[in-house]
Amino acid sequence: MIADPGRLYTRAQTAAILGLRRANTLTDWIRAGYGPPSVRIGGRRMYRGDDLLIWVSGQTERPRRTDGPGKQK
């Protein structure tokens, strides 16, 4: 599933978008100071689609090679 930038998502929908097995993982992340930004609306935590896209793009990691060209084994 891909996030629509103009839409708000529930915790369960956000977990599905991110491929998480449990929606509670998002709650754990909030407590740890990690995860995508969220907003509280009427007591419910919601996630904006544009924030999800930005957060996911910031999670990109480059592969690390230890035996590539120029490296000694």
Read off the pLDDT of residues 19-61 as tens digits, 9 standing for 90 and up: 999 999 999 999 999 999 999 999 999 999 999 999 999 998 8
Distance, in Å, from the CA atom of 39 to the CA atom of 36, rounded to the nearest integer, reads: 10
pLDDT confidence of residue 62: 81
Residue 29 — φ and ψ, nearest 5°?
A: -65, -40
Distance, in Å, from the CA atom of 28 to the CA atom of 49, rounded to the nearest integer, reads: 20
Ramachandran assignment for 22, one of left (phi > 0), alpha (psi -120 to 50 degrees), beta (any other): beta
Which is higher by pLDDT, 36 or 71?
36
Q: In the structure, what pLDDT confidence band is assigned to residue 65 with cuts at 50, 70 and 90?
A: confident
pTM over 0.75: yes
The two tokens of residue 9 are 């998502």
pLDDT confidence of residue 67: 73
